[in-house]
A and B are shown apart, each in its own frame.
Chain A
Amino acid sequence: MVTMEHYLIVSSIMFFVGVYGFITRKNLLAVLISIELILNSVEINFCVFNRFLYPEHMEGMFFSLFGIAISAAETAVAIAIIINVYRIANNIDVRHIDKMKY
């Protein structure tokens, strides 16, 4: 029998793998992929809580629906910024993009 805790553990593993990638990766696109993992795990959590604890409501499902749409918008803008950074700095490695840092 698959209980609620199984889903929660899977999504928390996914979340912290995303956090690990966010800390260690140097490529801007890899950082964005880690953010997608984090967002995705949160959306699983919304659905699981909705389905197991309040099966007669639909709020969790709609929250993850809006979350998916917002993450699409966020990805579009982030990729536009990354392409612009690549055009200016010829690189998308976070260690080489320090023009505005000092």
Chain B
Amino acid sequence: MGELANAIIFYCLAAAIVGMSILAVTSRRMLRAATYLLIVLICTAGLYLLLNYHFLAVVQLSVYAGGILILFIFAILLTSSHGDRAYSHDKGRVIAGIITALAGIAITTWITMKHHFLYGENPALMGDRQIDMKEIGQVLIGTGKYEYLLSFEALSILLLTCAIGAILIARKR
């Protein structure tokens, strides 16, 4: 029963992801494209939940859907003009893009189906093994093997630098 429910949820999420990502790159209006991107990101968080990465799903929702999308919508509203709607897409470029995308999808799907991944019955998939918050916190600020204090700190400095740089670039002179 659980497997069937998982499969149904997965197929709904996959259909939503595929459809909405195609709409996000083909929609003429930028605000709609941003909304479709929001739906894709929320469905991705659903996939993380399906894989039992609860913390990652929350991070995805709060950082991507909460933070980045707000930035996008602000930028779209600030720079909205008739630019994106007035011109039709370049025909040759669209055909080249479609050919590239279809060829890429075909090659990667073929390779994925051809390769046999070796994994047995995985108890983690059915929710038997969840990663608890304490473990994640320990790994994030530990200094041992497979622990990530250095990259965590480097990331915090990177975010600080990006905030300062963004203010510096976008301010009025």
Residues on A lying within 8 angstroms of B by beta carbon are: 1-2, 4-10, 12-21, 23-27, 29-30, 32-34, 36-37, 40, 43-44, 47-48, 51-53, 55, 57-59, 61-62, 64-66, 68-77, 79-84, 86-87, 90-93, 96
Closest residue on chain A to residue B98 by CB atoms: A20
* Interface SS of chain B: helix
Q: Using Cβ atoms and an 8 Å threshold, which residues of chain B touch A64?
A: 56
The answer to the question of B124 belonging to the interface, with a C-beta cut-off of 8 Å to chain A, is: yes
Closest beta carbon of chain B to A1's beta carbon, Å = 6
Q: What would be 21 A-B contacts, judged by CB atoms less than 8 Å apart?
A: A4-B117, A16-B100, A18-B21, A18-B25, A21-B24, A21-B97, A23-B97, A23-B100, A24-B93, A29-B30, A29-B79, A51-B51, A52-B122, A55-B129, A68-B59, A70-B158, A79-B75, A80-B166, A84-B170, A86-B78, A92-B83
Q: Using Cβ atoms and an 8 Å threshold, which residues of chain B touch A83?
A: 75, 78-79, 170
Q: Contact size class for B?
A: 35 or more
- Whether B93 pairs with A10 at a CB distance below 8 angstroms is no
Q: Using Cβ atoms and an 8 Å threshold, which residues of chain A touch B90?
A: 24, 26
- Whether B33 pairs with A33 at a CB distance below 8 angstroms is yes
